[in-house]
Amino acid sequence: MLLRAFAKINWSLDITGVRPDGYHLMDMVMQPVSLCDEIELTPAPDLSLFTDGNPPSRADETNLAWRAADLLRKTCGIREGVRIALHKSIPMGAGLGGGSADAAGVLFGLNRLWCLNLTREKLEELGLSLGADVPFCLHGGLVRTRGIGELLEDHPCGINYWLLIFQPCRALSTREIFEAYHASESVSRPDTENVLSALAAVDSERLSRSVGNVLESVSAARCPEIPEAVSALKNAGAFAARMTGSGSAVFGVFRSRALAEKARDLLSRQYRSIHLCHTQSDSIRVMEEDLP
């Protein structure tokens, strides 16, 4: 089985509290984008993982794709194995959910390959134990996510937008950024309700005013390249630009593909590995169910 596991962006990201067990309570609006990793699943006697592409990722038990397969085997009492070939394109340490997308793709694919017939709700429950973004990466669509990632609320989106996404600086540690958030004296919160209504109404002006990320100023303090890149995207014609997740990737939103391509040509003089992509509904797509 060959699958594509898609990255995500945060139209908004807010932190509403912390549970007694230390998990953060989130309020986020997320959507898949066409930037993806490819995952090949091939029946095998044992569980193994092979990775290639750019950026490289570790092919061991710490990889979320491997952990997802191992979790499903143990949960369902599966004795057979699988060879996972992971072809990376989604930047790591970027806030784009690449590791979560890979885990979701493996859970989704092996549920089919092993004929387990688990519901999407059960897969999302398993995914939550791997990471807060995994349930969303199984769910797809324009979603408001709350709690610790388990409360998913579908919302309408009028159109799909063309985007430029790139990582202007080093990868950032999610744990480091959350710790810094608690030490910060002031943050700017997004207008989540307006983000959702602007996306439904295709109101670019209101969307531009409403998108936000409570972690952006915290990450920018460690990597000043982030606000510089956001400004560069706006100067190149993006009507909205923000950091996604805990960083360090930024995205710019354009009114057409032609405008996004023009901005990419301009920004490529300064930045490397700029991804031209668009928002979409699918978070996982099966490309071929039977490999030769």
Third-level CATH fold of 2-155 = Ribosomal Protein S5; domain 2 (3.30.230)
Q: What confidence score (pLDDT) does residue 58 get?
A: 84
Residue type, 260: A
The answer to whether the peptide bond before residue 55 is cis (omega within 30 degrees of 0) is yes
pLDDT of amino acid 82: 97
Question: Choosing from 8, 14, 88, 102, which is the catalytic residue?
Answer: 8
The dihedral through the CA atoms of 173, 175, 178, 183 has a sign that is negative
Q: Are 269 and 231 in contact (CB under 8 A)?
A: no
Catalytic residue among 14, 37, 102, 133: 133
The answer to whether the pTM exceeds 0.85 is yes
Predicted pLDDT at 288:
65
Residue pair 94/54 in contact (Cβ under 8 Å)? The answer is no
**What are the residue boundaries of the structural domains of the chain, listed by start?**
2-155, 162-278
Max distance between CA atoms of the chain, in angstroms, equals: 57
Contact status, residue 267 vs residue 250, Cβ threshold 8 Å: no
Give the domain 162-278 fold. Alpha-Beta Plaits (3.30.70)
Task: Provide the token pair at 198.
Answer: 């602007």
Q: Which residue in this structure is represented by tokens 């509904």?
A: 281
The pLDDT assigned to 54 comes to: 79
Q: What is the pLDDT along the chain (292 residues), one digit of tens a residue?
A: 999 999 999 999 999 999 998 889 999 999 999 999 999 999 999 999 999 987 778 888 999 999 999 999 999 999 999 999 999 999 999 999 999 999 999 999 999 999 999 999 999 999 999 999 999 999 999 999 999 999 999 999 999 999 999 999 999 999 999 999 988 877 888 999 999 999 999 999 999 999 999 999 999 999 999 999 999 999 999 999 999 999 999 999 999 999 999 999 999 999 999 999 999 999 999 986 554 4
Alpha-carbon span 94 to 52, nearest angstrom: 18
| Residue 70 designated active-site | no
Angle at 13 between CA 156 and CA 182, to 5 degrees: 160
154 an active-site residue? no
pLDDT for position 291: 46
